Structure 1
């Protein structure tokens, strides 16, 4: 748990279940530094462990503080999450932008905290006043309230995206190799030849265009070598039944 990361600070959380769910959300995305400020039902809380569902190590390492100032005393920058506008002047970030900024500051040696308020009303203005910037989630304005664990999950997810960016789209090949250009070409020729025999490409003046469309179809499909073998077999079996 020594990897550089922001501290997740739960300010006056009310229910142990939500603390446990927040711990689970954190560990889902590689966060483990939880700080708890003045929990209503005391600490440790068995209900938190029940909801952590395998993330008990986060709760075991959590530190408890009597006030917010003590919880963020070592931090060089603090974000506060809020779902409503405040009569205060603060820079406001989306979760994505905030975690990008946090990653840059931590990489430069800074210590960052993210504050989350109590379930009923969120952070108070006195809490906000101790933060350097706000994080505001673009939620439905007619129903802006987020569960504590949901809010932690959103932030943790954006953190993970910044430090371990996955490819935006990948293909799972299920143990098979992607088909090669030569295999795709052989499949295309197999179908073209058999469809030619069946007079599929008609009328004649449209034949070239139809073949081009069919070739393009094969090229667009993310076929494996097993797919190609199966498609060859499908056509052969259909022709055998036709010949019989």
Structure 2
């Protein structure tokens, strides 16, 4: 994965679309492809035929995995291409911004992946939940379905063309307020203090600051804040 992202096709259905994706990738200098549970098995002669000669090398070296967790296990940052999943409260990028961000990450040694869903329904919410961020292509809202090969082509093009890194857009949703996050921090800090976690005393202030920073950076939803409160209470009950 050195120097480029890996493209992961999750449960692709038609061999022709896998071949078209490989062809699109090689058009823009990408050759790291992984397949998760391809419907018609692997290898697939229709994929090879569609890859058109040289692009078959992308297929020859493609990794094949039974599940998404295994396919992305070595990745540090994962984008999910989807028109759905915004209720998961993740950063949302345009293709241009996503690939600019990917270039910056790769330049610092990160292993980056881009997920593409199956032709019929795209990525499932369970797939999107595993990703670090979402890529949404600004297509016609009345007809937002893209062919798998087209989606791969667009992302490969944006990777190859370069450009400045715009700021990621945080999607709206039921995000926890700053006050709710602060109360969560208070709850954990008080219980960790009682448990003697902040030791030695000379490091306590920095440890508390790091925890506060973590809670704020996570951009938690209200439901997640409630769950974290509940988990801590349950642990304390069982400990007592």
Q: If the TM-score is normalised by the length of the shorter chain, which range does it land in?
A: 0.5 to 0.7
Q: When the two structures are superposed, what TM-score results if normalisation uses the length of structure 1?
A: 0.65
Matched, 1:151 2:151: yes
Deviation at residue 84 of structure 1 after TM alignment:
3.3
Deviation at residue 162 of structure 1 after TM alignment:
1.6
Matched, 1:101 2:101: yes
Matched, 1:16 2:7: no
Q: For the residues of structure 1 that align with 2:145 and 2:87, how far apart are their CA atoms?
A: 19
Q: Deviations over 1:8-49 (max 9, x none)?
A: 000000000000000000000000000000000000000000
Provide the residue aligned with 1:66 in structure 2.
Answer: 66
Q: For the residues of structure 1 that align with 2:75 and 2:87, how far apart are their CA atoms?
A: 25
Provide the residue aligned with 2:29 in structure 1.
Answer: 30
Matched, 1:132 2:136: no
Deviation at residue 68 of structure 1 after TM alignment:
0.3
Q: Tell me the SS of whatever aligns to 2:162.
A: helix
Q: Deviations over 1:84-121 (max 9, x none)?
A: 35321111000000000000000101000000000000
Provide the residue aligned with 1:6 in structure 2.
Answer: 5
Q: Tell me the SS of whatever aligns to 1:87.
A: helix
User: Paired residues, what number?
Assistant: 162
Q: When the two structures are superposed, what TM-score results if normalisation uses the length of structure 2?
A: 0.66
The gaps in structure 2 that reach 5 residues or longer are 164-240
Question: What is the correspondence of 1:154-173 to structure 2 with a 5 Å cutoff?
Answer: 154-162=154-162
Q: For the residues of structure 1 that align with 2:85 and 2:102, how far apart are their CA atoms?
A: 22
Q: For the residues of structure 2 that align with 1:8 and 1:18, how far apart are their CA atoms?
A: 14
The gaps in structure 1 that reach 5 residues or longer are 164-244
Q: Which 4+ residue blocks in structure 1 deviate beyond 3 angstroms? A: none
Q: For the residues of structure 1 that align with 2:124 and 2:29, how far apart are their CA atoms?
A: 28
Q: For the residues of structure 2 that align with 1:5 and 1:88, how far apart are their CA atoms?
A: 27
Q: Tell me the SS of whatever aligns to 2:23.
A: helix
Query: Root-mean-square deviation (CA), in Å?
Result: 1.2
Going from structure 1 to structure 2, the CA distance change for 1:126 and 1:150 (only over 3 Å counts) comes to same
Provide the residue aligned with 2:186 in structure 1.
Answer: none
Q: Tell me the SS of whatever aligns to 2:115.
A: strand
Provide the residue aligned with 2:227 in structure 1.
Answer: none
Q: For the residues of structure 1 that align with 2:86 and 2:132, how far apart are their CA atoms?
A: 14
Provide the residue aligned with 2:77 in structure 1.
Answer: 77
